[in-house]
């Protein structure tokens, strides 16, 4: 069946108070944290695909999001970049809808309208966007997570380290309009963003994924083991070893640690403020990241 631009399997599943957990690539998917997070959740729940865009080329530029080709049983196949929807029924509500959104390059208003129609048809109660961003934070400290609910700080969730939140103003994703449309329908809006070390810029940041999954586990009563913390810890230990013989990097990290401690004063809520580092430090962060890419 069709709902807007989406082709869906019939009949639509009967979901109990469904919550959407959505990633948005590439806008807030630094280190592919949101994407990897959904991979883990879909595998854990054995989620079943419900549908996808019938013609993704209406919205996405395939010179920017590349199709993937592979050989299966001797036959060449092509997979187009798409927005894929899957569902998982749980023992107790809410059931979960996983949505892999992409930043659209064309007809963005129709894309947002299609998602709104789909979530309305599924009677979604909450839209929870998960993702990540680069920040001036050290990899030697617990990664900060910003939590927002209906444009207000999200509190009372284990693992959230950032609670007092300064509203962002500036360039953003067109998908921000989706939250406005869902609010008109009475849908709860949540955003969880993990802050990653800018100087690392890993293709797949496993520590960031683990931190995000820790918060989701607390939010949705999931087993803590789903975070697989050991993978992220091992990744960051390896990076620490690589940086051990770099005096400049070690001095920078000490400065970032001091900045981190100033933002996370013990006994107080974490202050989510713009990082104020000297321009030469910002430049060194970028240069260090490029050198790490060559390791």
| Residues 207-225: tens digit of each pLDDT | 999 999 999 999 999 998 8
Percent of the chain predicted with pLDDT > 90: 71
Q: What is the mean pLDDT of the chain?
A: 88
Asked whether residue 279 carries a pLDDT value surpassing 70, the answer given is no
Distance CA 107, CA 109 (A): 6
Q: Greater confidence, 48 or 151? A: 48
271-272 vs 164-165, strand pairing mode: parallel
Ramachandran region of residue 221, left (φ > 0), alpha (ψ -120 to 50) or beta?
Answer: left
- Nearest of 182, 191, 249 to residue 27 by alpha carbon: 191
Asked whether residue 3 carries a pLDDT value surpassing 90, the answer given is yes
Spell 191-222 as b/e; 16+ CB within 10 A means b.
bbbbbbbbbbbbeebbbbbbbbbbbbbebeeb
User: What 3-state class would DSSP assign to 107?
Assistant: coil
Domain ranges of the chain: 2-293
As a whole number of Å, the CA-based R_g of the chain is 20
Architecture of the domain spanning 2-293:
3-Layer(aba) Sandwich (3.40)
8 A C-beta contact, residue 25 and residue 103: yes
96-102 vs 84-88, strand pairing mode: antiparallel
Whole-Å CA distances, 204 to 60, 210, 242 = 23, 11, 17
Q: Check residue 260 and report its DSSP letter.
A: H
Asked whether residue 163 carries a pLDDT value surpassing 70, the answer given is no
- pLDDT given at position 272: 46
Provide the pLDDT confidence category of residue 292 given band limits of 50, 70 and 90.
Answer: very low
Whole-Å CA distances, 233 to 102, 229, 240 = 29, 6, 10
Helices then strands (H, E): number in the chain? Answer: 7, 14
Provide the pLDDT confidence category of residue 283 given band limits of 50, 70 and 90.
Answer: low
Asked whether residue 267 carries a pLDDT value surpassing 60, the answer given is no
Q: Greater confidence, 170 or 36? A: 36
Q: Greater confidence, 18 or 244? A: 18
- pLDDT given at position 4: 96
Q: Average pLDDT in the 81-90 region?
A: 97
- pLDDT given at position 74: 86
pLDDT tens across 100-136, in order?
A: 999 999 999 999 999 999 999 999 999 999 999 999 9
């Amino acid at each position: 069946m069709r709902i807007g631009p989406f082709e869906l399997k019939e009949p639509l599943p009967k979901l109990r108070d469904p919550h959407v957990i959505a990633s948005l690539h590439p806008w807030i998917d630094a280190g592919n944290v949101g994407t990897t997070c959904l991979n883990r959740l879909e595998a854990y729940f054995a989620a079943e695909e419900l549908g996808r865009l019938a013609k993704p080329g209406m919205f996405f530029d395939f010179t920017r999001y590349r199709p993937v080709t592979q050989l299966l049983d001797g036959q060449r196949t092509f997979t187009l970049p798409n927005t894929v929807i899957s569902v998982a029924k749980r023992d107790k509500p809410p059931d979960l809808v996983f949505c892999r959104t992409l930043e659209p390059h064309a007809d963005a208003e129709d894309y947002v309208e299609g998602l709104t129609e789909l979530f309305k048809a599924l009677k979604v109660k909450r839209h929870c966007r998960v993702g990540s961003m680069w920040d001036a934070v050290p990899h030697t400290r617990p990664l900060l997570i910003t939590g927002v609910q209906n444009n207000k700080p999200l509190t009372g969730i284990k693992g959230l380290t950032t609670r007092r939140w300064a509203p962002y103003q500036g360039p953003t994703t067109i998908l921000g309009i989706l939250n406005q449309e869902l609010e008109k329908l009475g849908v709860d809006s949540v955003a969880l963003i993990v802050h990653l070390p800018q100087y690392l810029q890993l293709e797949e940041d496993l520590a960031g994924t683990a931190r995000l999954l820790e918060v989701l586990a607390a939010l949705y009563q999931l087993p803590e083991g789903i975070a697989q913390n050991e993978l992220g810890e091992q990744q960051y230990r390896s990076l620490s070893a690589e940086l051990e013989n770099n005096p400049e990097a070690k001095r920078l990290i000490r400065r970032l640690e001091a900045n981190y401690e100033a933002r996370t004063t013990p006994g107080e809520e974490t202050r989510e403020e713009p990082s104020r580092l000297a321009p030469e430090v910002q430049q060194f962060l970028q240069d260090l990241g490029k050198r790490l890419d060559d390791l």
